[in-house]
Structures are given as C-alpha cells and as structure tokens.
Amino acid sequence: MLQSRRKFLNSLLSLSGIAGLAAILYPVFTYMLPPKTTEPKVNLVKAGMASEFPNNSYKIVKFGRKPVILVKTEDGQFKALSAVCTHLECIVQYKSDTHQIWCACHNGIYDLNGRNVSGPPPRPLTQYNVKVVKDEIIITTIG
Amino acid sequence: MKKFTTNLVSWLDERFDLTPVRNLLQHKKVPAHKYSFWYYLGGVTLFLFFIQLVTGILLLLYYRPGEDSAYESVRFIVTEVKFGWLIRNVHSWSANLLVFFAFLHMFSVFFSKSYKKPRELTWVTGFIILVFSLAFGFSGYLLPWNELAFFATKVGTDIVGILPVVGEKLKVILRGGEDVTGATLSRFFGIHVAILPAIFTFFLVLHLLFIQRQGMHEPEHFNNLPEEKKKYISFFPDFALRDALLWLIVFDILIFLALYFPWELGNKADPFSAAPEGIRPEWYFMFMFQTLKFLPAHIVFIDGELFGVLVFGIAGLVWMLIPFIKIKERPNWKIQPITFIGIVVVVFIVLMTILGYLL
C-alpha cells in the first residue's frame, strides 16, 4: 500500500517536473524563431533606362527584398530571372563570354531562360517579365 | 619572495589541503619513447585556445555587430586602432592554427589508438571540442561582414536547411529569418562570443580532467617493455618546460604569419551583388565543400546535397563513437583494419582539400 502510494507520488512528481520543463522550454524555443515580418508585396520594379544599358551585360536589381538578375543580350533583348541560385542561394551572374548565367559558389550554369544546364542546381531560375516603356525598363512578376 | 610564497602555500594548505595538487605535480609522469612528440599537440591546441580567448576579448573592445557597423568597425580596428591589425591578424591566424593542431592531435590519438579503453570519453569529449572549434570558425567568419563571409554563411546555413524535418526551422533559427541579414550577424555574434565559449569550456574542462585522472596513454610497444626498460620523464618541471618551449615556437610562428601574411578584409557584403569568382570556404571546410561539388543533383531518390550531408553526418558520428565499435584485429596483417580506415580518411581529406584549391 505504502509502496504504491510512493510510486504514485514519484510518478506525479516526475510528470509535473516534465510539465514544468516544457513550460520553460516552449517559450524559449518559440523565442528563438524570429517573427514573420510582413513584407509589402512587390509586383513591379523600374530598372533604369534601356538606352543606357550596354548590350551583353547585366545588373542585379532589387525586387522588393529579392535580387533579380537583369540581362541585356547581345542582340539587345532583356531577360529577367531570379538571381538566387536554386542550389544553395548564392547570387548568380551573367557571363558575357559564354552568354550563360553562372553561379560562382559551386559552378552552377543556367541558360538565359533560367533553365539549369549543368552543375548542381536542382531547379530552373524563376522568370520575370521585362517590358520597355518609353525607354524605361519595367520588370514584373509572371502571373 | 620565496618566503612569501612558502607562507602563502602553507596558508592555503591549512585551509584547503593541497595534497592532490602536490601529488599531481610531484608524481605525474610522461612515458618517454620514440612517439613522445605527439603528446605535445594537445597542449599546443590548448595554448592557441588561450590566445583566442585573449585576442577575442580585445577585439570585443571595438567590434560592433550590425549590418551598418560590423564591417566598418573591423576596418576601424585594422586601420585606426594602434596594433589593431596585429590583434585581428593574430586572432584569425591563431584560429586557423588551432583547427590545424586540433586535427593533427586527433589523428595522432587515432593512430596511436589512445582512444581505447579506458580513454573512450576523452576521445568523445575531444571530438566534441573539435566540432565546436569548427563552429567557432564558421560563426567568427561572418563577423567582419564581408562578401566572402556573406556567401559562405548563405551556403553553410542553407546546407542546414537541407536536413529532413528539422532543417528548415533550424535554418531560420540560425539566420534569425529567411535570409542572411543583420539579424544573422547578431545571432552569430552571440553564438561566437557567448554560447560557444560556454559550451566549449565545459567540454574542455572535462577533457582535461579525464586526462589528469588517467594519466598519459602508453602505446602498445611501450607497454610490452619490461618494467626496468620503461623510461619516464616527470611532468613537472621536465615535460612542462618542453611544453613551454614548443608554445614559444608556435607563438613565434603565429606572430610571423600575422606580420607577413595579414588577413584581408575584402569588400563589404552586399546582398544585391553576384557572388564573386573564386569563392570558397575556409580550408578546413574545403574537403566537404569539394565533395558536395562532385555530387550530382540527384542520387537515386534524394538530393545530391542531402545525400552528402547525411553521409558526412553519419561518418562524423561513427568517428566519434569509434572507441565503442569493435573492429577485429588481424594479427598477421601488416596494417590493421582500423589503421587502414584512418589512412583512407586522411587521404580523402587531404586529396579533396588539394582538389578544392586546384579546380
């Protein structure tokens, strides 16, 4: 009788101990997860004058908080793609000699439509729309 | 002076009974044999840790974490503060030497089989210390907030995100958000100067206690000698003085490196610029980096990267638990299986590191 009462009290004690620990650990763990900041949704970004942009070159444009790579091809066409490599999130660049998008971190290569051609990238780069209105380059999301 | 010391010691002795300390100083012996040199590597690593502690505290006097201040404050340290360049260079170089000597120490322990019973836990704590040294290196690398550090941290934390189930949450916790930003810098700063030192010191103290408790490992060939042929030197002062001499030599090398090969600060990190050409991690992560580079995007069902990370994780765990794993000895083999495994590991690490710099 005494034994089982002791057993009961012991398990009650360890149970409340675990509950107490959880009550401490839960807030601590939740505290470590940063709160989600609501970012203003960006659908359109102006990226300078088309005539001032040299052929066969690129620049990285801020699209809200995301980097977008804007390329002007040799024949004067504009291409805009997400600049975040789908492999490990490095920022890609345009190689003017091979006319490809290249990631310096692990040698990932994409074509100008964002397709992953070689190296470790598992997915293509997201495409953006580019329009030139009155010489102004305008990048918009697709869809 | 001498009288004062004697008085002080007896004053302390009366109150705290210093017999254990006296015993340690008088009776601790170190075996003397042809491989004795390897006994000194742990001490060198410890010495470099002290240097990290002192220079790290000094850097804290001027360093200011933050997206707009970290890079600027490090530049201030190396250009404006008197001897600031020296303190920073010593901190960077000493960090690298520390990792180097820790690896050397680990492999010497491995090949002399000192990790075997009764020293299993000394090995385990030592391995944990090494892992935390790497974490020190990784977190400290970001603190100057330069281009290389920025992308290294992006890649490194993204790899954490690959892990199944917990990966994504862990990545967000490490980064302090979805991306590597000033929030990441704050967290890495806290990890580097508070969390890691606390954990590291705990395991270091355990590691040293274990060694004091058990004494130096005697290798097999030494153990097989008849008692009268076993030679020892006293730990104090003989071994300690030799230790001190080696510390002095390492200190000279460290200062030489800090003076003639200053650590570059590079360009300030810019989240909206392309990763620079020739980007690579610190040399001690190179073998892993290079291996991941060789893996294809997909291996059977899973991501190549995840496959690589899992293999490295499991290999690390097995390596840590090696004292508990029974591997049959083959008396008539020239090289024992366990030694062979060690050689394969060393060759792999060295080869991948070299390839990483060549390719």
pLDDT of A42 > 90? The answer is no
CB-based contact A69:A112 (threshold 8 Å)? no
CB-based contact B86:B55 (threshold 8 Å)? no
pLDDT of A45 > 80? The answer is yes
Strand, coil or helix: what is B119?
A: coil
Residue type, B134: L
A105 closest CB neighbour out of B155, B169, B303: B155
Which CATH number does the domain A44-141 belong to among 1.10.10.10, 2.102.10.10, 3.100.10.20, 1.10.10.350?
A: 2.102.10.10
Which secondary structure element, helix H or strand E, spans residue B339, and what is its range?
helix B337-358
CB-based contact A79:A70 (threshold 8 Å)? yes
CB contact under 8 A, A120 and B158: no
What pTM was estimated for this model as a whole? 0.88
* Secondary structure in 3-state letters for chain A: CHHHHHHHHHHHHHHHHHHHHHHHHHHHHHHHCCCCCCCCCCCEEEEEECCCCCCCEEEEEEECCEEEEEEECCCCCEEEEECECCCCCCECEEECCCCEEEECCCCEEECCCCCEEECCCCCCCCEEEEEEECCEEEEEECC
Kindly identify which residue of chain A lies nearest to residue B168, measuring between CA atoms: A33
Q: pLDDT by residue (tens digit) across B75-126?
A: 999 999 999 999 999 999 999 999 999 999 999 999 999 999 899 999 999 9
Going from the first residue of chain B to its last (359 residues), give the mean pLDDT of each consecutive group of 10, the final group possibly shorter: 91 92 86 88 96 96 95 95 95 97 96 92 97 96 94 90 90 92 95 97 96 88 86 89 94 96 92 85 90 79 85 95 88 86 95 90
CB contact under 8 A, A104 and B275: yes
Token digits for A51?
């005539």
The confidence score (pLDDT) of residue A1 equals 61
> pLDDT class for A143, splitting at 50, 70, 90?
confident
Kindly report the nearest CA distance between residue A64 and chain B, in angstroms.
Answer: 11
Domain range list for chain A: 1-35, 44-141
Q: Count CA atoms closer than 13 A to B147's CA, side-chain side.
A: 17
CB-based contact B95:B87 (threshold 8 Å)? no
Q: Please tell us whether the domain made up of B35-215+232-266 is placed in CATH 3.20.20.80.
A: no
- The torsion region of residue A48 among left (phi > 0), alpha (psi -120 to 50) and beta comes to left
Kindly report the nearest CA distance between residue B24 and chain A, in angstroms.
Answer: 41
Give me the residue label for tokens 């999301």: A141
Domain range list for chain B: 35-215+232-266
B277 touches chain A (CB under 8 A): yes
> How far, CA to CA in Å, does B60 sit from each of A34, B53, B74, B148, B185?
26, 11, 10, 22, 15
Rg (CA), chain B: 23
Residue type, B188: F
B271 touches chain A (CB under 8 A): yes
Kindly identify which residue of chain B lies nearest to residue A62, measuring between CA atoms: B272
